[in-house]
Structure 1
């Protein structure tokens, strides 16, 4: 008598057990959170290196003056900034390799394993672009003021912001609140499967589509702002409009225009738009009854960071791009992006997990969730 075997569809639908069981792993979650914190060390050192013009203090790569421990680097500010940036980048690379491998070994969610692979690809790309920024610094193209190496500073800065978002996405998806059944914003699927009185059910309330769209619009606007900021910073256009808040002639618009002035003005115009959009997003989040308390606190933190960023931008102009103020402006900008991204990411939590979740075979019954298996059952019971 032959033993019945499960169909391929049933195998795909069944939540993995054993090593890849869907459960919270504190060690992995803390490791991902540590990587998300370390990336700000990397951003800080990179921003400070640019602020003091130390990007080419070593003309070779990957070594620094032919050594892993170049002579005098601890005593010279420029050498310290650039070499520390390289060392922190190498550390970030090791972090990411371990994180991607760990996710591949134990994480049942395919999309999250892919995200770990994406983080690894990004950190490799960042290392290569950073190296080429040094080795191609002497290569010039006809009719272009910047060398090829100098032009590579712009994508290097932009990819750094993308990398921040990817790390925060991974850390959030591994956190206990994300994986908990009662994390808030219960879906209509939960209402049907669990009933109105089930623990963690919010009565079938879903994230309002308008709130999701607003969060995505805010995130896109912040990212565009950071792209313009990277272009402005590396084209030395930060003081193309040397006064703030008005132009040098006392008007809102500069009297004379060129590429650098246009970059500086675009940066200010986008900042003004964010002063409207981010409070709008925060108020919409606060007014949403189904929003968890943590999201409302995150929205408040977003506004604090926004106010800090506006102040730092003003002081960057008033101090004629003082190195410490300009560096703080870059760091805080990355924090604004991370906060807005995290808010938008969390607002899409149900959609992300349910679209990628396991689905039972037609007619199969999903057992009532108990204890640690609650989150797994929630994914398995999605329609």
Structure 2
């Protein structure tokens, strides 16, 4: 059974993750992602003198420091579970050495070899997790450590190559990493270890289908949002609400106009889907009242998200409105991932034995 201390540590890491994503959103909103031309140093130094007095450096270099903080926290979670569950010293040493080598390859721009190492790392994790029958938290903590290293490397590659593509992938992986942190906090809670959700076979199948579909649809919307934010930083391609550049269905060209259209209307669709699934989830979660607030929040947050999106357009991408739009979108993804964990988690979801 997970310790209360580890659960509190996971919650603290989760809180730092919110600050990190907020800070990263601010970097993109203010378009200062390239304020520092080098990586991992800042103008050749760990901390240039007076960097915190320069707004652009405060955002970009500060984002790096917060990212480093959560990297150390992820390393702490890994070793916490490592020493608790049959530690093998060669594993920890190999992960650290491979991580150092991975960063060196990114710095040298040998991306093909770095991708190969990342692929082999995830292959090893999958096979070891299954073969050695790791407990859930052991595997999740290792996964979070690997993800945070790749996330940091993507940030560095984005600076070195001045590439929007690296920036988009960096933003998308950040959302996935945060969901893993949410899962770690949930899996170390009393709700996970002591709660029981009783569903019929039919209800369990529906709950699993709709929760997973919801998570994937919300993530797709955030992919569109990340693409939009990294390609239309200073201003949006259109300022109308219902139409886009005066058209109800714009053509694929120019791409920036169609991307804005897709983000708006897929957002409306996902908002309706969230409310639909949340209403049903409240009934599915009746035997697990600790999780019903998740469904309740999901009933109201889509309306807030749509309103924030409209105000982003009306205010010309106001800093605070845009950043709250990003954070609310992250919250929708995180809550959707909690529904997936709840309905797919064997420790929680129990089918009706009589019907089975």
- Matches of 2:300 and 2:54 in 1, distance apart? 35
Q: CA deviation at 1:291?
A: 4.0
Find 1:78's aligned residue among 56, 61, 65: 56
Q: Please state if 1:159 is matched with 2:168.
A: no
Q: CA deviation at 1:71?
A: 2.2
Structure 2 segments unaligned to the other structure (5+ residues): 87-133, 351-356
Contact kept? 1:186, 1:206, Cα under 8 Å: no
Q: Please state if 1:267 is matched with 2:263.
A: yes
Seen in structure 2, the aligned counterparts of structure 1 residues 107 and 262 have a Cα distance that, compared at 3 Å, is farther
Identify the residue that residue 113 of structure 1 maps to in structure 2.
Answer: 138
Identify the residue that residue 93 of structure 2 maps to in structure 1.
Answer: none
- Matches of 2:249 and 2:73 in 1, distance apart? 46
Where 1:132 maps in the other structure, the secondary structure is helix
Q: Please state if 1:222 is matched with 2:218.
A: yes
Find 1:55's aligned residue among 29, 33, 37: 33
Identify the residue that residue 132 of structure 1 maps to in structure 2.
Answer: 157
Q: CA deviation at 1:236?
A: 1.2
Find 2:197's aligned residue among 181, 185, 210: 185
Identify the residue that residue 39 of structure 1 maps to in structure 2.
Answer: 17
Where 1:244 maps in the other structure, the secondary structure is coil
Contact kept? 1:285, 1:295, Cα under 8 Å: no
Between 1:64-73 and 1:226-235, the stretch displaced more is: 64-73
- Matches of 1:211 and 1:256 in 2, distance apart? 36
Contact kept? 1:89, 1:127, Cα under 8 Å: yes
Q: Please state if 1:176 is matched with 2:190.
A: yes
- Matches of 2:283 and 2:142 in 1, distance apart? 37
What TM-score, normalized to structure 2? 0.79
- Matches of 2:13 and 2:261 in 1, distance apart? 35
Greater helix proportion? 2
Q: Please state if 1:300 is matched with 2:325.
A: no
**If you compute each CA radius of gyration, which structure gives the higher value, 1 or 2?**
1
Q: CA deviation at 1:344?
A: 1.6
Contact kept? 1:282, 1:300, Cα under 8 Å: yes
Q: Please state if 1:334 is matched with 2:334.
A: no
Seen in structure 2, the aligned counterparts of structure 1 residues 245 and 327 have a Cα distance that, compared at 3 Å, is same
Q: CA deviation at 1:289?
A: 6.5
- Matches of 1:353 and 1:38 in 2, distance apart? 30
Structure 1 segments unaligned to the other structure (5+ residues): 1-22, 138-148, 188-203, 355-383
Identify the residue that residue 30 of structure 1 maps to in structure 2.
Answer: 8
Q: CA deviation at 1:231?
A: 1.2
Where 1:321 maps in the other structure, the secondary structure is coil
RMSD of equivalent CA atoms? 2.4
